[in-house]
Amino acid sequence: MSAPATPTAGTWSAPGRVNLIGEHTDYNDGFVFPFAIEFRTSVELTTRADGRIRVSSSFSDESVEVALADLADVFPARRDEIVEWARYPLGVAWALLEATGTDPSAVPGVDLAFRSDVPVGAGLSSSAAIEGATASALDEVWALGLDRVALAKIGRRAENEAVGAPTGIMDQMASMLGRADAGTFLDCRSLEAQVVDLGFAAAGLELLVMDTKVTHAHSTGGYGERRAACERGAEIMGVPALRDLTVDDLARAHELMDDVTFRRVKHVVTEDQRVLDAVASLRAEGPRAIGHLLDASHVSMRDDFEISVPELDLAVDTARAAGAVGARMTGGGFGGAAIALVDHDLVPAVTAAVEQAFADAGFTAPHIFTVTPSEGARRDA
């Protein structure tokens, strides 16, 4: 295809996400239950005739331009030469061309201009929002015809190989498949997704996000170590992934592995069960019934998976003491945000209590706000 004489233009967007429950289970082939939120990243696309791709954004002064034909030289080997935020959209363009075997000279060049209101570094997956918006836009303009699951996989590949973060598929699937007022119950082995009504508003509940302002990056340190411990645990137990264990296997696991590996395994195995229990409880009794599972999930991440930080623990403990139905840290950990399920009328009191507790502890003031389960990636204009 040669570039069109009249440039094509359009706007696509994709949301961030909150994970209701199911943390560090996705790369263990397990279960997760996230939902897309109303904060979105949008990309305005214009085609260009010179076979190049340019990315710019409202959240960085640095734009990057490269020939589409050179993306295969840049990723993954020379990715460090690209400013970090631009690795996400350029990585998606690279992964799309690679995965579909598309000749870069057969598609038009593009200008991609991003804007976003997804808080960065808060564990709300600003990265999946960039990936989802980019993948949706390029898939359509390059006429690649991939479905939403395939586009989510493209986003994960960009993140793993172009950015270098060894993350799972949850965030991309949540961002691609989100529905208003519903969560995405996802089997990360089969990638079968079920839309589950959350019914927060009907139950008089709000989902509060408490951004601790402690920033984190999954391309460094702790995330990869946790993933390696899980793989070690599965190998010791002789199973393809921790998904293949149940709580009944934990006694044997305890005998076979060192204490740290055991506690990592225990978190994942019990967390998978908590996801299944949360979905069943929600369907049978409504959202109030999942509070104790959110609480137990946090304790498991704090004590067994050891990915919480004092700010997250304080937010969770304070929200619960102020009357939250349940609370837990959300996302990959080591910073970011906690969530609390709170009665509508208690939102001001819980917010004030957490703000006061942070001030008393000498922590940076948190950013606390409610979120609404929202629609996934889409074309806006």
Q: So which residues are the catalytic ones?
A: 171
Taking CB under 6 A as the criterion, the residue among 171, 206, 295, 311 binding ligand GAF is 171
C-beta separation of 67 from 140 below 8 A: no
Name which position in 24, 213, 216, 302 contacts ligand GAF (CB under 6 A): 24
- Least Å distance, CB 168 to ligand GAF, is 3
Does residue number 175 form part of the binding site for ligand GAF (CB under 6 A)?
Answer: no
- Options 21-29, 91-99, 262-270, 278-286: segment touching ligand GAF (CB under 6 A): 21-29
Smallest distance, Å, CB 33 to ligand GAF?
A: 11
| 29 contributes a contact to ligand GAF by CB under 6 A | no
By CB under 6 A, tell whether 161 contacts ligand GAF. Answer: no
In three-state form (DSSP H/G/I as H, E/B as E, the rest C), the secondary structure along the chain is CCCCCCCCEEEEEEEEEEEEECCCCHHHCCEEEEEEEEEEEEEEEEEECCCEEEEEECCEEEEEEEEHHHHHHHCCCCHHHCCHHHHHHHHHHHHHHHHHCCCHHHCCEEEEEEEECCCCCCCCCHHHHHHHHHHHHHHHHCCCCCCHHHHHHHHHHHHHHHHCCCCCCHHHHHHHHCECCEEEEEECCCCCEEEEECCCCCCCEEEEEEECCCCCCCCCCHHHHHHHHHHHHHHHHCCCCHHHCCHHHHHHHHHHCCHHHHHHHHHHHHHHHHHHHHHHHHHHHCHHHHHHHHHHHHHHHHHCCCCCCHHHHHHHHHHHHCCCCEEEECCCCCCCEEEEEEEHHHHHHHHHHHHHHHHHHCCCCCEEEEECCCCCCEECC
To ligand GAF, the closest distance from the beta carbon of 159 in angstroms equals 7
Residue from the set 108, 132, 168, 183 that interacts with ligand GAF by CB under 6 A: 168
Q: Which stretch binds ligand GAF (CB under 6 A): 22-30, 145-153, 345-353, 369-377?
A: 22-30
Contact call for residues 340 and 324 (beta carbons, < 8 A): yes
| 150, amino acid identity | A
CB of 19 to ligand GAF, least distance (A): 6
Least distance from ligand GAF to the Cβ atom of residue 85, Å: 16
Residue 167 contacts ligand GAF per CB under 6 A: yes
Minimum distance from residue 112 beta carbon to ligand GAF (Å): 22
Q: Which residue from 26, 29, 44, 272 is in contact with ligand GAF, where contact means CB under 6 A?
A: 26
211 is a contact residue toward ligand GAF (CB under 6 A): no
Per-residue binding string, ligand GAF, 302-341, x by CB under 6 A, is -----------------------------xx---------
Q: Report the residue number, 152 or 314, with the smaller CB distance to ligand GAF.
A: 152
Quick one: which segment of 4-12, 23-31, 78-86, 363-371 binds ligand GAF (CB under 6 A)?
A: 23-31
**Candidate ranges 163-171, 173-181, 189-197, 290-298; the one touching ligand GAF (CB under 6 A):** 163-171
Among 218, 264, 266, 328, binds ligand GAF (CB under 6 A): 218
* Close Cβ partners of 134 (under 8 Å, ≥ 6 residues apart): 43, 88, 89, 92, 93, 112
Residues at the contact surface with ligand GAF, assessed by CB under 6 A: 19, 23-24, 26-27, 125, 167-168, 170-171, 218, 331-332
